[in-house]
Structure 1
Amino acid sequence: MLAATEPLKPLIAVGQVTSTPDKEHNFACCSRLVREATQRGACIIFLPEAFDYVGSSTEETLGLSETLDGDTVQRYSSLARECGVWLSLGGFHERGGDWERTRRIYNTHLLLDSEGSLAGAYRKTHLFNVELKGRVSLQETAYTNPGPAVVPPVSTPAGKVGLAICYDLRFPEMSLALAQAGAEVLTYPSAFTVATGSAHWEVLLRARAIETQCYVVAAAQTGKHHDRRTSYGHTMVVDPWGSVIAQCQEGPGLCFAEVDLAYLRRIRQEMPVFNHRRPDLYGRVAAPQKDPLPPDLPLGHST
């Protein structure tokens, strides 16, 4: 029995999957992880970027995309409501309101509450273009529009969650802006390549945690999606001191961690780095704003 004065430590679950172009297969895998995490008592389950699918070509990626009121989001809304848990859907291929004009999509991080309503939506602002000779060639800008804004953190049962996606991890200004806006948990659902993941994944996640004094949650794609794409995996949770407290290795699965907000507050009190910042010397990062292109959904409210 917990003492009345002892703070609760909500349990979160972080999923690792290998998405393919088969959306039905992917939903079956993700929903199985959500139900398993629910049985273990998790209050939020984090799923990675491209949880819905990983296309084998630009044409397939665009062809499989949906609007936010389409079948995929509706199914996850029903799943959240059925299980009574929050879901972080880390990177949905969204046909936005400008689809007919641009024929481009948004990479959109959705946060559903336990009633299945949309509690937050963030469209990826930093798009991943890379040419590593002989290793990796990806051009996200070929088919994706950049999001227009960083959005404010969302209050959840595990604290205030700041929404980001994958390549955003490389831009510390964004994590600092979210922390200054009140974030206690930063989440980077990802599909890191093997080349970049093996070199930079853990060190970047730990750096973002240390400099913001936030928990960092990073659900990841793993393994071979199709002949042209393989992801690094290593789903991870880092605490505000920079320690890795949960991690997946190879293959689909879950890892679990407790979010101790009393511990977070103690770290911030003992080392008040945000009080020590010198914006007079190097400026101040911009505060998050509401997305000027909010989704029009019959799922409840949005940011």
Structure 2
Amino acid sequence: MSTLAKAMSKFRLAVIQMHVSGVKADNLTRARGLVRDAAGQGSEVVLLPECFNSPYGTSFFREYAESIPGESTQLLAEAAKENRVYLVGGSVPEEDGGKLYNTCTVFGPDGQLLLKHRKIHLFDIDVPGKIRFQESEVLSAGNSLSVFETPFCKVGVGICYDMRFAELAQLYSKKGCQLLVYPGAFNMTTGPAHWELLQRGRALDNQLYVATASPARDETASYVAWGHSTVVNPWGEVVSKAGPGETVIYADIDLQYLAEIRQQIPITAQRRHDVYTVTSPQEGLK
């Protein structure tokens, strides 16, 4: 492998877990500063949390919603260009044609918009006695896969509840993605139970890196985020993990290591429908 190829097989990822308040201007200023800090530590790809510009909750989405381009995405474009990073802008409430979406935008080091991912799987849950939350009461769902390319690898984008759907991660893997990023805001019920487990499952199933960015925990908020932003490697190991508070975590993404894992335990080439034979229960008893 050439020196250039070796250099391109590794890059530093920063995951920002930031405190989000009810003041949008403060959130934008905080995000800009944390992106600058991450770039100062050599990060080339930076990930912000879900709803980084507003409190998370159905009662807030319409109040904080913007069109794209808008105030928040302009800030993201400037921060990406100023710091020469690929910036995955968490998500913001987006208004378009009278509908609201939970939307992630990604900007390149030149400040240009690379993609816009609207959350596909809306967060509609009802755990009796613990939590009920229905994004679909306010938001509309997206319907598109979102992949962007860097000099290092292809990256697939999902938002929070999207991570529960293994098929989405598999589709991204089939498209050649080696890193999946999920801005998310799991809560105090689902967070301790499923947050890390889902990330490790998606990484192990597809032999790729998975990174998640949560808002920092705020016990006074109407929706309390679990925090614990995480990066998982293709072996299913947690390589970097935050606590509940505001912080920036880092992971050195090693694509040569990913290739070695796939070579050692080859599963991708065997993921073909024609190798499976479906047997009915009756046939199985013969």
TM-score using structure 2 length? 0.91
Structure 2 match to 1:195: 189
Structure 2 match to 1:179: 173
Structure 2 match to 1:41: 42
Q: Secondary structure at the match of 1:222?
A: coil
Of structures 1 and 2, the one scoring higher in RCO (CA 8 A, sep 6+) is 1
Structure 1 residue 56, shift from structure 2 partner = 5.7
CA RMSD in angstroms comes to 1.9
- Structure 1 gaps of 5+ residues are 284-303
Q: Which residue identity does 1:20 align to in structure 2? A: S
Per-residue deviation, residues 154-178 of structure 1 (Å, max 9, x unmatched): 1114421001010011100000000
Structure 2 match to 1:94: 94
Per-residue deviation, residues 38-58 of structure 1 (Å, max 9, x unmatched): 111101110011011115652
Q: 2-side partners of 1:217 and 1:174: how far apart?
A: 15
Q: Which residue identity does 2:117 align to in structure 1? A: Y
Q: Which residue identity does 2:168 align to in structure 1? A: M
Structure 1 match to 2:138: 143
Percent of counterpart pairs with the same letter?
33
Q: 2-side partners of 1:17 and 1:52: how far apart?
A: 10
CA contact (8 A) 1:43 1:158 kept: no
Structure 2 match to 1:112: 107
Q: Which residue identity does 2:89 align to in structure 1? A: L
Q: 1-side partners of 2:277 and 2:209: how far apart?
A: 25
| 1:220 and 2:219 correspond | no
- State which structure, 1 or 2, has the greater radius of gyration over its C-alpha atoms: 2
Among 222, 225, 232, the alignment partner of 2:226 is 232
| 1:7 and 2:2 correspond | no
Distance 1:267 1:133, change over 3 A: same
Distance 1:55 1:233, change over 3 A: closer
Distance 1:68 1:251, change over 3 A: same
Q: 2-side partners of 1:135 and 1:22: how far apart?
A: 28
Identify the range of structure 1 (198-207 vs 270-279) with the bigger mean alpha-carbon deviation.
270-279
Per-residue deviation, residues 2-54 of structure 1 (Å, max 9, x unmatched): x8377122111001012122111111221121111111110111001101111
CA contact (8 A) 1:161 1:185 kept: yes
Identify the range of structure 1 (177-186 vs 71-80) with the bigger mean alpha-carbon deviation.
71-80
Structure 2 match to 1:294: none
Distance 1:160 1:185, change over 3 A: same
Aligned residues: 275
- Structure 2 gaps of 5+ residues are 279-286
